[in-house]
Amino acid sequence: MSAKEVPLKVYISGKLYDKEDAKISVYDHGLLYGDGVFEGMRSYGGKVFRLEQHLERLWASAKAIWLEIPISRPALAKAVNDTLAANNITDGYIRLVITRGSGSLGLDPNRTSHPQVIIITDHIALYPEDFYQNGLEIVTASTMRNHPAALSPRIKSLNYLNNILAKIEGLQSGCIEALMLNHKGEVAECTGDNIFLVRNQAVLTPPTDAGILEGITRDAVIEMARKAGYQVRETALTRHDVYIADECFLTGSAAEIIPVVKVDRRKIGNGAPGPITRDLMERFHRLTR
Ligand code: PMP
Residue of the nearest CA to atom 7 in ligand 1? 192
Buried b (16+ CB within 10 A) or exposed e, 164-197: eebbebbeeeebebbbbbbeeebbbbbbbbbbbb
**pLDDT tier for residue 125 given thresholds of 50, 70 and 90:** confident
Domain residue ranges in the chain: 9-122, 129-288
CA 193 / ligand 1 centre spacing (Å): 5
Residue 3 confidence (pLDDT): 45
Quick check: 4 pLDDT over 80?
Answer: no
Quickly list H helices, 205-274: 216-227, 239-243
From 37, 94, 145, 194, give the residue whose CB has the most ligand 1 atoms within 8 Å, as the site to mutate. Answer: 194
Question: What is the set of active-site residues?
Answer: 156
Q: Using a CB cutoff of 8 Å and minimum separation of 24, what contacts does 13-19 make?
A: 13/70, 13/114, 13/116, 13/117, 13/118, 14/79, 14/117, 16/83, 16/86
Residue 267 confidence (pLDDT): 98
CA-based nearest residue to 95, from 111, 103, 84: 84
- The 10s digit of each residue's pLDDT in 28-58 is 999 999 999 999 999 999 999 999 999 999 9
Q: Which atom of ligand 1 is nearest to the CA of 212?
A: 1
Residue 232 confidence (pLDDT): 98
CA 256 / ligand 1 centre spacing (Å): 10
Distance, in Å, from the CA atom of 158 to the CA atom of 160, rounded to the nearest integer, reads 6
User: Taking a C-beta distance cutoff of 8 angstroms, is the pair 140, 239 a contact?
Assistant: yes
**pLDDT tier for residue 2 given thresholds of 50, 70 and 90:** very low
* Ligand 1 interacting residues, C-beta cut-off 6 A: 40, 163, 189, 192-194, 213, 215-218, 251-254
Q: What is the dotted CATH code of the domain comprising 129-288?
A: 3.20.10.10
Residue of the nearest CA to atom 9 in ligand 1? 193
According to DSSP, the residues that pair with 234 across neighbouring strands are: 205
CA 2 / ligand 1 centre spacing (Å): 34
Residue 239 confidence (pLDDT): 98
212-238 average pLDDT score: 98
Residue 186 confidence (pLDDT): 98
Residue of the nearest CA to atom 4 in ligand 1? 192
CA 96 / ligand 1 centre spacing (Å): 14
CATH architecture type of domain 9-122: 2-Layer Sandwich (3.30)
